[in-house]
Amino acid sequence: MTTQLSDLESQLATLKQEALQAIATTPTLEALEQLRIQYLGKKGSLSQVLGGMGKLDAADRPRIGASANEVKEQIQTELEQKKTALQSAQIEAKLTAEALDVTMPGVYVPQGHAHPLTSTIDRALDVFVGLGYTVAQGPEMETDYYNFEALNTPADHPARDMQDTFYLSDGNLLRTHTSSVQIRYMENNDPPIRVAAPGRVYRRDTVDATHSAVFHQIEILAVDEGLTFSDLRGTIKIFLEEMFGDLPIRFRPSFFPFTEPSAEVDVQWRGRWLEVLGCGMVDPNVLKAVGYDPEIYTGFAAGFGVERFAMVLHQIDDIRRLYSSDLRFLRQF
C-alpha cells in the first residue's frame, strides 16, 4: 500500500512539473486553453491520477487529496498568470501593429481643378442663378434666322459678312454669338423669363494674343411687364460687383441691332477703363419675332466674352494660353 501512496505522489509531482513547464513555454491563448483541458479537464491528467486514489488506504487518501489540491491550485494559478501575460502581449502586439505615426510624410495625391474658363463661367452663372435666372443652352450650329434675322440684324449688316462668319456649305452657320439662344428660349417659353446662356461661339478672326476663332460667351435675357433700363443697370452692377469687386463702372451708348437703346459697359480696373460687356433693352422687333407683345412686355439683354473676364481676373496676357492645355500654366489657378 505504501508503494501505492508514493507512486501517486511521484505521479503528482511529475504531472505538476510537466504542467508548469508546458504552461511557461506555451505561446498562445489557444494552446493555453488546450493545456488547461489536458491537465485539469474532467478526463485530464489530474483526474486520471486521482482515479488511482480508490486503491489507497482510507488513511492515506486525505494526504493525497491535499497534495492533489495543492497541485491543482498551483496549475490554476500558473494558467491564470500566463493567460494575463498572453492577453497583454496580444494587446501590445495589436497596438504596435496599428500604431499611426502622424509625423510621417503623407502620400501626395495630385488633385485636379476646374479650367479657368470653366470656373469663370461657373462663377458668373452662380451670380445669375442667385438672381433667379435659369441656365439655358442652344446649338453651336445655327441657322441665319436664329443668329441674325430674328435678332433684327439686317441683311447688309457687316456681321453677316463672309469675312466674319463661318458659313457651312448647307447654308447654316456657326453661331457668332450666344444671342441666338435668346430667340430659341423665347420661342419655347412664355414671359416672364430670366435666362443665362453660356456657350461657344465662332468668328473668322485671325488668332493673336487677344483673338480666337472660337471663344465663349454668356448671354443674359430678362423679359417681363414693366422692365426698364434701371433694372438692366442694377443687374449689371450687381453682376460686375460680384466678379470684380466694388469698382466704378460706366455705361456708354452703343449700337446692337437687337437692342434699343444699347450700351457698352466699362469697369475701372487697375487705373483704366476696360470694356467688359454689351447690353441694352430688347428691340421690340425681336419680341415681335417670337410672338411676344412689345406693348405689354419689355426686356433687357447682355452678352459678354468669358475669355475676356478670365484674362482680366487672372492677369492672363495671351488668350492662346487658355487653349494650350499646358499644365504649368493651368496649375496656377
Question: Would you state the cell numbers that stand for residue 128, as one nine-digit string?
Answer: 445669375
Nearer to ligand DAH, 50 or 282 (CB): 282
How far apart, in whole angstroms, are the C-alpha atoms of residue 146 and residue 127? Answer: 27
Identify the CA nearest to 135 among candidates 121, 148, 147, 116. Answer: 121
Query: CB of residue 118 vs ligand DAH: minimum separation in angstroms?
Result: 20
Three-class secondary structure of residue 67 per DSSP:
helix
179-198: contacts with ligand DAH (CB under 6 A) = 179
**Binding of residue 301 to ligand DAH (CB under 6 A):** yes
Say if residues 236 and 302 touch (Cβ distance below 8 Å).
Answer: yes
Question: Total binding residues for ligand DAH by CB under 6 A?
Answer: 11
200-219: contacts with ligand DAH (CB under 6 A) = 219
Nearer to ligand DAH, 82 or 177 (CB): 177
How far apart, in whole angstroms, are the C-alpha atoms of residue 22 and residue 3? Answer: 28
**Binding of residue 299 to ligand DAH (CB under 6 A):** no
Nearer to ligand DAH, 9 or 224 (CB): 224
Crossing angle for the helix pair 229-244 and 306-314, to the nearest 10 degrees: 40
237-266: contacts with ligand DAH (CB under 6 A) = 256, 259
Q: Where are the alpha helices (DSSP H) in the chain?
A: 2-25, 29-40, 45-51, 61-98, 116-130, 144-147, 180-188, 229-244, 284-289, 306-314, 327-330
**Residue in 32, 303, 306, 309 binding ligand DAH, rule: CB under 6 A:** 303
Question: Would you state the cell numbers that stand for residue 3, as one nine-digit string?
Answer: 508503494
**Residue in 68, 279, 286, 306 binding ligand DAH, rule: CB under 6 A:** 279
Segment near ligand DAH (CB under 6 A); pick from 26-34, 58-66, 242-250, 275-283: 275-283
**Both ends of the chain: CA-CA distance in Å?**
100
Query: CB of residue 109 vs ligand DAH: minimum separation in angstroms?
Result: 41
Segment near ligand DAH (CB under 6 A); pick from 3-11, 97-105, 141-149, 298-306: 298-306
Segment near ligand DAH (CB under 6 A); pick from 49-57, 82-90, 240-248, 276-284: 276-284
> Is 128 buried (19+), middle (13-18) or exposed (0-12) by CB count in 10 A?
buried
- List contacts with ligand DAH (CB under 6 A): 177, 179, 219, 256, 259, 278-280, 301-303
